[in-house]
Amino acid sequence: MRVNLTVNGRREAVDGVWEGESLLYVLRERVGLPGAKNACEQGECGSCTVYLDGMPVCACLVAAGQAEGREVRTIEGLADGDRLDPVQRAFLDRGAVQCGFCTPGLIVQAHDLLSRVPDPTDAEIREALAGNLCRCTGYEKIIEAVRLAVARGAGPA
Partner 1 sequence: MDFLRPATWEEALAAKAERPGAVPLLGGTDVMVEINLDARRPAALLDLTAVPGLNAWEHAADGRLRVGAGVTYARLIAELGDVLPGLAQAARTVGSPQIRNRGTVAGNLGAASPAGDSHPPLLAGDAVVEAESAARGTRMIPACAFYLGVKRSALAPDELIRAFWAAPASGPQYFSKVGTRNAMVIAVCSFAIALHPRERRVGTGVGSAAPTPRRAQEAERFLAGELDWTGGAPLDARVAARFGELAARAAAPIDDVRGTADYRRHAIAVMARRTLTWAYDDYRKKAAECA
Binding residues for partner 1, rule: CB under 8 A, are 1, 18-20, 22, 41-44, 46, 49, 55-58, 60-63, 65-66, 68, 109, 112, 127-128, 130-132
**Does 58 interact with ligand FES (rule: CB under 6 A)?**
yes
Nearer to ligand FAD, 42 or 121 (CB): 42
Alpha-carbon gap, residue 88 to 90, rounded angstroms: 5
**Does 155 interact with ligand FAD (rule: CB under 6 A)?**
no
In the chain, how long is the greatest CA-to-CA distance?
46
Site string for ligand FAD, 23-62 (x = CB under 6 A): -------------------xxx------------------
Distant-in-sequence, close-in-space partners of 51: CB < 8 Å, separation ≥ 6: 57, 71, 72, 73, 74, 108, 112
Distant-in-sequence, close-in-space partners of 70: CB < 8 Å, separation ≥ 6: 5, 6, 52, 53
Contact between 5 and 14 (Cβ < 8 Å): yes
Nearer to ligand FAD, 7 or 58 (CB): 58
Contact between 39 and 48 (Cβ < 8 Å): yes
Nearer to ligand FES, 7 or 24 (CB): 24
Which parts of this chain interact with ligand FAD (CB under 6 A)?
A: 42-44
Which parts of this chain interact with ligand FES (CB under 6 A)?
A: 38-41, 43-48, 58, 60, 97-102, 134-137
